[in-house]
A = this chain, B = another copy of it.
Amino acid sequence: MSSPVMSARRLAGILGNLDGTGPAYAEITDRIRVAAMDGRLADGTRLPSERELAAALGVSRTTTSRAYADLREAGLIASRRGSGSTVTVPLEASPASTLLGTHSDPDTLAFTYSAPIGPPGMARAFERAIAKLPGLLATSGYLPDGLPALRELLADYYRQRGLPTDPDQIIVTNGAMGAISLLSRTLLSPGDRVLVEGSSYPHAHDSIIAAGGRLTALPVGNGSPWDVEAMAAALKASRHTLAYLICDFHNPTAAVMTGPEREAWAGHLRRRGVTAVVDESMHEVNLDGIDLPPSLAHFDPSTVLIGSSSKPFWGGLRVGWVRAPKPLVVTLVQARMIADLGTSAFDQVVFAELLSDGGQTAAAGRAALRQGRDHLLGELAEHLPEIEAPCPAGGLSLWVTLPGHFSTRLCAAAERRKLLLTPGPRFFSLGGRAGERHLRIPYAHSSEHLSEAVQRLRLAYDDVQAGRTGTRRTDSPTIDLIA
């Protein structure tokens, strides 16, 4: 039994007025994609004919025909003679899908990482970048320090944030993870101590450890993750080389370091000769537009900052960067020669376009994330009231509190319900019981998948309550991808 065909007028209403900033077919393609992903066009929706949609939008038939063809090519609509075109919402492409053994389980939901799908406007940035291609292809494409135009835009970005910055202070890396890894390998010698938050982004801590660093984790309490007294005591007790911190929308707690805390931290670190590495990947994912205190670099110019295009824009853009004093940037550029030689040239052009559009795409990305956040909060409040889920002002995931210490068991039960989550303790570098009361739930997913995930989590929760926890599936290797 097939659903009725959506009227062209209704679809035109969903898509909104075209803004004429690019080819009309590309805009239509992009808007249908986004509507399919955010749930406004449900899976199986039958679309009006190309002719009807063209009339409703006031564009040529060629335009809608090209848009449908591109959507077909992308696997977002299926067209069959006689029954028209039908929306097919793809399951979010599971990362490491074949390795996760999800080959035979195409409906597993991967909620271990939080990265947005490409927001509206993203496709247009790619189109604009294509226009820069001839100049780019006339070079070897090797950019070990980064695309000059992008380094300038990033320097501008910091200047606008009140941090005078020269383009030579920027090195473009393979995502923020590439930056963390490069800094760890460059700044640490085996045995060097690194001060870190008690809970944090696990791959960052793993990267520090792989480079020979020894972690000093701050205590995890109910207050701030950045206890100034504990920090001062730790620095006094032993010599530290680095501090790795996530001050803005801390991952996973979404906490924001206060201005006075920043000043105190910067002062102590500087006096002890400890380099602060501040991961600001989430800085631009300021969903509620709150006033963030100045960067730690404002209080200590030797601070090293890390940024990312994946969190505010799209995970597929593997572009991150480091802002550091110039001599360190020279060292980092040399150090990367034995790691990757450079970052994708075209991704850098696309990111430069995104930084030059007046903030339009970033705003659309935040709007989509806000919608996901609010949808997830609503679903949890309705279906899992046992869980305490505060609303974060930024970032890409909720940090919820369970009514008991069973995060690992809950995640194991969820996995059997085909929902992959990261157990709370994974975010605590010292492990222990504290993490068992927490769970990180990313909301950078379509409404449909968020609802489905909460349903599965509800079932998993009941499994745990009923003692039906069982063991984790062991029929396939599990990849620990957290983002």
Q: For chain A residues 81-120, which have a beta carbon within 8 Å of chain B?
A: 90, 92-93, 95-99, 113, 115-118
Q: In this assembly, does A354 line the interface, its C-beta being within 8 Å of a C-beta of chain B?
A: no
Interface residue tally on A, bucketed by range: 35 or more
Contact of A134 among B71, B210, B333 (CB under 8 A): B71
Chain B residues whose C-beta falls within 8 Å of the C-beta of A151 in the assembled complex: 98
Interface string of A346-366 (1 = CB under 8 A from B): 110010000000000000000
> Could you tell me if A334 and B137 are in contact, using CB atoms closer than 8 angstroms?
no
> Could you tell me if B142 and A113 are in contact, using CB atoms closer than 8 angstroms?
yes
Please name 17 pairs of A and B residues whose Cβ atoms are closer than 8 Å in the assembled complex, sorted by A: A30-B137, A73-B132, A73-B134, A74-B138, A93-B140, A95-B142, A96-B144, A98-B148, A136-B316, A140-B444, A143-B316, A178-B340, A316-B344, A317-B344, A334-B480, A337-B482, A346-B347
Contact of A115 among B93, B118, B132, B140 (CB under 8 A): B140
Q: In this assembly, does A302 line the interface, its C-beta being within 8 Å of a C-beta of chain B?
A: no
Q: In this assembly, does A175 line the interface, its C-beta being within 8 Å of a C-beta of chain B?
A: yes
Answer whether A118 and B142 are a contact pair too, CB < 8 Å, given A337-B203, A347-B344, A479-B333.
no
Chain B residues whose C-beta falls within 8 Å of the C-beta of A175 in the assembled complex: 340-342
Query: In the complex, what distance in Å separates the CA atom of A334 from the CA atom of B343?
Result: 21
Q: In this assembly, does A70 line the interface, its C-beta being within 8 Å of a C-beta of chain B?
A: yes
Q: For chain A residues 138-195, which have a beta carbon within 8 Å of chain B?
A: 138-145, 148, 151, 167-168, 174-175, 177-178, 181, 185
Q: In this assembly, does A387 line the interface, its C-beta being within 8 Å of a C-beta of chain B?
A: no
Closest partner residue, chain B, to A205 (CB atom)? B338
> Could you tell me if A141 and B315 are in contact, using CB atoms closer than 8 angstroms?
yes
> Could you tell me if A341 and B131 are in contact, using CB atoms closer than 8 angstroms?
no
Copies of the chain in the assembly = 2
> Could you tell me if A481 and B337 are in contact, using CB atoms closer than 8 angstroms?
yes
- Which of A8-16, A42-50, A122-130 lies at the interface with chain B? A122-130
Q: In this assembly, does A76 line the interface, its C-beta being within 8 Å of a C-beta of chain B?
A: yes
> Could you tell me if A341 and B74 are in contact, using CB atoms closer than 8 angstroms?
no
Q: In this assembly, does A330 line the interface, its C-beta being within 8 Å of a C-beta of chain B?
A: yes
Chain B residues whose C-beta falls within 8 Å of the C-beta of A20 in the assembled complex: none
Closest 4 CB pairs of A and B: A141-B316, A118-B137, A316-B345, A74-B135
Contact of A314 among B137, B334, B338 (CB under 8 A): B137
Q: In this assembly, does A207 line the interface, its C-beta being within 8 Å of a C-beta of chain B?
A: yes
> Could you tell me if B75 and A135 are in contact, using CB atoms closer than 8 angstroms?
yes
Q: For chain A residues 414-466, which have a beta carbon within 8 Å of chain B?
A: 444
Closest partner residue, chain B, to A110 (CB atom)? B140
Q: In this assembly, does A36 line the interface, its C-beta being within 8 Å of a C-beta of chain B?
A: yes
Answer whether A181 and B340 are a contact pair too, CB < 8 Å, given A330-B99, A346-B316.
yes
For residue A95, give the distance in angstroms from its CB to the closest CB of chain B. Answer: 4
Chain B residues whose C-beta falls within 8 Å of the C-beta of A343 in the assembled complex: 174, 318, 344
For residue A7, give the distance in angstroms from its CB to the closest CB of chain B. Answer: 23
Q: Which of A37, A338, A342, A347 has the most CB of B within 10 A?
A: A338
Query: In the complex, what distance in Å separates the CA atom of A132 from the CA atom of B33?
Result: 12
> Could you tell me if B139 and A90 are in contact, using CB atoms closer than 8 angstroms?
yes
> Could you tell me if A117 and B131 are in contact, using CB atoms closer than 8 angstroms?
no
Chain B residues whose C-beta falls within 8 Å of the C-beta of A130 in the assembled complex: 126-127, 130
Q: In this assembly, does A289 line the interface, its C-beta being within 8 Å of a C-beta of chain B?
A: no
Query: In the complex, what distance in Å separates the CA atom of A95 from the CA atom of B118?
Result: 30
Q: In this assembly, does A374 line the interface, its C-beta being within 8 Å of a C-beta of chain B?
A: no
Q: Which of A139, A207, A210 has the most CB of B within 10 A?
A: A139
